[in-house]
Amino acid sequence: MNILRKILFPFAILYGLITSIRNFLFDKGILKSTSFDIPVIAVGNLSVGGTGKTPQIEYLIRLLSSKYKVATLSRGYKRQSEGFVLADENSNASILGDEPFQFYQKFPSVQVAVDANRTNGITQLLSQKEKPEIILLDDAYQHRKVKAGFYILLTSYGDLYADDFMLPTGNLREARSGAKRANIVIVTKCPSKLDESEQENIRRKLKLEASQELYFTFIDYDDSVYSRTEKLAVAEIKEERKLLLAGIAKPKPFFNFLKSNEDECLTFPDHHHFTEKDITTIAEKAKQYKIITTEKDYVRLKDTSIVSQLFYLPIKSSFIREQNNFDKTILSYVGKSSRNS
């Protein structure tokens, strides 16, 4: 695979040139970007793969939803519907996509919408009887047709965009210079005790502008796993034999957190649609034991025949330090934009 990526390096140069021209045309106003009169925060990354967008969106929902009417707008990756869809009691993971459906289940006061055309999606949200006061754009850093008021760029610890290359040689969707659009950069999935000297090394490597803020977060696992009817302590479940199941981009940390010697780990592609054959395979491997999965996978599996054995482990994004500064920056932007709208 690495050899193939090196062979494809000329295509990476071509792809980088195309995306750079596109960004230049948007920057100069030759290609049109639409702005809106309410606060719009875009959360995304420069690379493909899991950088922790879902827990970061959920963090923003918790921060903002007690003070404002919040809406999320996602593309709805691998959903089986088309166009604009606003979540309601008839929605499921097939209609919305797994991550938006997770938002809808966890945050009933939040409007959850999907639309690949973000301009249309925002327009549709603002035409609702209950209009949102702030919109969170999920995975929209490259969606230049919408000009968000605030950009949060995520990059994974150990897989920084500064060390990466353009597709298909690397994993970058656009050149590293795209990071300049960000108001805030967050290095996600750090060790929880990342020392200040390493934080400073990363800061130097990223070469941010003076106006850009940098934060470091880690994945904070819940102390319990949950089923439809039960709650069990992680310390207890770690001692049991079980099947660990994940259909996410980077499942290794999830497995490492829960795995004991007798456990089997079953991996599926990110955003996988589980078939009847998959469910049969999972049931055969699990036998009579519990099945522990991620929260994102649980929303796709909870209506299947294995639900009686199924538990999920929630996660959240936690700041290593300076959480209050992050909160103040976000609340200041939203407050000023709301007054000006």
- In this predicted structure, what is the pLDDT of residue 91? 96
183 and 258 in a single domain? The answer is no
275 and 288 in a single domain? The answer is yes
280 in a domain, yes or no? Answer: yes
Domain with 201 in it: what CATH number? 3.40.50
63 and 138 in a single domain? The answer is yes
Q: Tokens for 43, please give them.
A: 């959360």
124 in a domain, yes or no? Answer: no
116 in a domain, yes or no? Answer: no
- In this predicted structure, what is the pLDDT of residue 1? 52
Listed in order, strand segments (DSSP E) in 192-327 are: 213-221, 224-226, 231-233, 242-246, 264-267, 290-294, 310-313, 315-319
Contact between residue 49 and residue 171 where contact means Cβ atoms under 8 Å apart: yes
The β-bridge relationship of strands 224-226 and 70-74 is unpaired
235 and 298 in a single domain? The answer is yes
Contact between residue 118 and residue 145 where contact means Cβ atoms under 8 Å apart: yes
- In this predicted structure, what is the pLDDT of residue 61? 98
Distances (CA, A) of 121 to 68, 147, 226: 19, 13, 33
Number of structural domains in the chain: 2
- In this predicted structure, what is the pLDDT of residue 340? 64
Q: What backbone phi and psi angles, to 5 degrees, belong to 88?
A: -145, -170
Which residues are 159's β-sheet partners? 156
192 and 307 in a single domain? The answer is no
12 and 148 in a single domain? The answer is yes
Alpha helices in 239-294 (DSSP H): 252-258, 276-286
- In this predicted structure, what is the pLDDT of residue 4? 74
Q: Helix or strand or coil: residue 74? A: strand
Contact between residue 134 and residue 69 where contact means Cβ atoms under 8 Å apart: yes
> What is the domain range of residue 191?
2-68+133-220+318-340
269 and 167 in a single domain? The answer is no
332, amino acid identity: S
Q: Helix or strand or coil: residue 274? A: coil
The β-bridge relationship of strands 184-188 and 134-138 is unpaired
46 and 151 in a single domain? The answer is yes
188 and 237 in a single domain? The answer is no
- In this predicted structure, what is the pLDDT of residue 299? 94
- In this predicted structure, what is the pLDDT of residue 341? 59
Q: Distance between CA 182 and CA 42 in Å, rounded? A: 9
Low-confidence ranges of the chain (pLDDT < 70): 1, 339-341
206 and 293 in a single domain? The answer is no
Q: Helix or strand or coil: residue 175? A: coil
63 and 174 in a single domain? The answer is yes
21 and 144 in a single domain? The answer is yes
